[in-house]
Amino acid sequence: MRGIETVGDRLFGAGGRDEGGEKGRRPGRLLVVFKAFAVLSVVGATAFGLVSDGLYYDTLWLLVAAGVLGLLFVTVLSRGFYGGVSREGWILVSLLALLVLVKGLSMIWTISETETIKETLRASTYLAAFAIVLAVDVAVPRLGWALVVSLAVALGALWESSYWFALLLLLLAAVVGASAFARGGPPGYRQVGALVDGLCLAVVPVAGYGILQKAYPADYEIDSIDRYRVDSTLGYPNTAAVVLGMGALLALSRMTSMRNPLWRGLYSVLVLGSLVTLYLTLSRGGIGSFGIGLIVLFALGNNRLQMLANFLLVGLPGAWLWWRMQDLGALLSADVPMREKISDGTAFRNDLIAALLVAFVLQAAYALFVSRYELTSIARRYVGLAVGAIGAVAAVVVAVVVVTGFGGIGQTARAIFSNPDQQGSAAERLVSLGVGFRAEYWKVAWEAWLERPFTGTGAGTFQYTWLENRDSIQGVKQVHNLYLEQGTETGLVAFLALLAFAALLLFYVGRAAWRYGPDGEGRLLLAGLLAAVTVYGVSSVFEWHWYLPGSTLFFFVIAAAAVRLARTEDHPKGADETPPG
């Protein structure tokens, strides 16, 4: 079927001649297999981390760090492994290496050697994962990605059981087996497309477990501080929200590029499930970052009208589900009896199943429609104007509803510009722009940075800076601002290195997407990858995702894939890859 792509439009493992290979060259077979093994291993470790409390605890992330750093050592010794990395890619790697170097040098002046060693290892792991994925220019079949990611998720879920060793052996066997079917030479969009499918699959358990926490509250306990915001498998609602937002944007861009009704229907289920769980986290930063990422996706992607239709077809059952959830008071409340939570959870489960089925049917029917009919340019223009008008009216209606719900403009303004009540309603929390205790963390971090502008206090040591300068008895380990944290802990050079990495990444990938041309699957992939990267980068202004390696590995894998795809010579020139509609 045309909608189900295989590597090089053939079944994986089939022979034949590659069209559009990078400069007509293909790496040796052993190198292709090893590259596939490397990227499958990194993504498998990422999927494992997403279902294992984000690899927050030392016993987990140190094991993953040892594996990734060992893999990096082997790749450095492998001739030709990094031969396809672009100049911009090497600059990005150099900036990360500079960041790691400064963190390591901070051992000379740090106030806590233990924390500095751990932070240096953590940053080194991110550098290794980024460099490995950046260098991999081979295509792994979708079945291989599905098998590896599924086994990695199962291993994370059963890590503390007696089955972990058997699952680990199965995972290694799956990585080796999938690597054997990898192929070198196909265009970049074919390499990255299958990788994105694997990353989307890794988000499924994050969304699914969050839904289970609300549908079956007695069996799946919420461990967040307030006990009612979904924290899913990552253990922290705001980081779970960011991963879900990144996954939803990747899935939306990927769904738009597909033709097959079944695949598009399944992706619509993933998008809706991710958005529902994102809402249940009640994360203002996560939802706001997703909104910014969505703007980036529509601004840089092609086939905007079809992408908007896909989003609206997901949004219709989603809006109905949200309306139904407003009558389930126990769903987003902490201090209610468990009996009410179970009752409302059952009602939520039933409504969610109905919404997911409707989303699947609508998307499958739309896929069949656009495969047979195509709007003329004039019709597209009028449809676009109509959608814009409807969007403007909808925005006004939402504003009126919000103002009315809070009892007037004055009450609404107070709710927006005040810090949210931890035990308040979902609406009160989501409309608030207050940063809470973060303002105090930032003040202490800034003052400490001014005292040591070029060295900082040492990598990973803010918790001690806070203990020395806090005005309250509250404890905290992170600044809740990734960029400021680099300055206060490791000084100006580390701050500039990370800032330059983020700026160059966004500029290079954004420019490539803008110049890509109006046609082709690659532009949609680039826009989706850049949108996902934007979500992480924006939300890191307010959060500490960096210290949850599962989520940050997810970011660096996406970032490396985006840079890899952004290479000019990988861009297909023909328009035959454009999906209809």
* % of the chain with per-residue pLDDT over 90: 66
Tokens of 248: 């939803």
Is the pLDDT reported for residue 409 higher than 90? Answer: no
Count of residues for the chain?
Answer: 581
Residue 405: inside a domain:
yes
Q: CA 212 to CA 513: how far, in whole Å?
A: 37
Q: CA 223 to CA 235: how far, in whole Å?
A: 7
- Closest alpha carbon to 230 in 182, 271, 280, 183: 280
Query: Contact 547/122 with Cβ under 8 angstroms?
Result: yes
User: Would you state the pLDDT for residue 405?
Assistant: 58
Expressed as residue numbers, the domain containing 304 is 28-570
Is the pLDDT reported for residue 24 higher than 60? Answer: no
470 — pLDDT class (breaks 50, 70, 90): confident
Residue 402: inside a domain:
yes
Q: CA 31 to CA 80: how far, in whole Å?
A: 8
Is the pLDDT reported for residue 22 higher than 50? Answer: no
User: Would you state the pLDDT for residue 287?
Assistant: 94
The predicted model gives 329-340 an average pLDDT of: 86
Give the residue with greater pLDDT, 4 vs 454. Answer: 454
* % of the chain with per-residue pLDDT over 70: 82
Residue 5: inside a domain:
no
CA distances from 554 to 500, 532, 545 (A): 20, 10, 11
The predicted model gives 297-311 an average pLDDT of: 90
Cβ count within 10 A of residue 308: 17
Residue type, 377: S
Q: CA 233 to CA 7: how far, in whole Å?
A: 32
User: Would you state the pLDDT for residue 1?
Assistant: 38
Residue 448: inside a domain:
yes
- Closest alpha carbon to 137 in 252, 10, 23: 23
Quick: pLDDT tens for 230-249: 999 999 999 999 999 999 99
**pTM for the predicted model, two decimal places:** 0.89
Residue 560: inside a domain:
yes
- The C-alpha torsion from 395 through 401 and 405 to 408, rounded to 10°, is 80
User: Would you state the pLDDT for residue 390?
Assistant: 66
Q: CA 254 to CA 196: how far, in whole Å?
A: 8
- Closest alpha carbon to 436 in 231, 269, 296, 226: 226
- The C-alpha torsion from 499 through 504 and 509 to 510, rounded to 10°, is 80
Q: Which residues contact 502 (CB under 8 A, 6 or more apart)?
A: 483, 537
Q: CA 34 to CA 42: how far, in whole Å?
A: 12
Residue 97: inside a domain:
yes
DSSP assignment of 171-206 equals HHHHHHHHHHT-EE-S-HHHHHHHHHHHHHHHHHHH
User: Would you state the pLDDT for residue 12?
Assistant: 32
| Segment among 76-90, 94-108, 465-479 with least mean pLDDT | 465-479
Query: Contact 139/182 with Cβ under 8 angstroms?
Result: yes
What is residue 139's three-state secondary structure? strand
Quick: pLDDT tens for 421-452: 555 556 566 666 666 788 899 999 999 999 99
Residue 579: inside a domain:
no
| Segment among 82-91, 504-513, 563-572 with least mean pLDDT | 563-572
Q: CA 319 to CA 50: how far, in whole Å?
A: 28
The predicted model gives 325-350 an average pLDDT of: 90
| Segment among 12-26, 129-143, 317-331, 340-354 with least mean pLDDT | 12-26
Cβ count within 10 A of residue 510: 20
Is the pLDDT reported for residue 25 higher than 70? Answer: no
The predicted model gives 65-80 an average pLDDT of: 95
Q: CA 479 to CA 459: how far, in whole Å?
A: 12
User: Would you state the pLDDT for residue 184?
Assistant: 80
Is the pLDDT reported for residue 388 higher than 80? Answer: no
User: Would you state the pLDDT for residue 239?
Assistant: 96
Residue 518: inside a domain:
yes
User: Would you state the pLDDT for residue 21?
Assistant: 43
The predicted model gives 7-30 an average pLDDT of: 47
Quick: pLDDT tens for 96-126: 999 999 999 999 999 999 999 999 999 999 9
Total domains present in the chain = 1
Cβ count within 10 A of residue 240: 31
User: Would you state the pLDDT for residue 259?
Assistant: 85
- Closest alpha carbon to 38 in 125, 117, 103, 132: 132
The predicted model gives 24-45 an average pLDDT of: 86
Quick: pLDDT tens for 243-295: 999 999 999 999 998 888 999 999 999 999 999 999 999 999 999 999 999 99
Is the pLDDT reported for residue 53 higher than 60? Answer: yes
Q: What is the mean pLDDT of the chain?
A: 86
The predicted model gives 50-74 an average pLDDT of: 95
412 — pLDDT class (breaks 50, 70, 90): low
Quick: pLDDT tens for 164-197: 899 999 999 999 999 999 888 777 778 899 999 9
Give the residue with greater pLDDT, 50 vs 22. Answer: 50
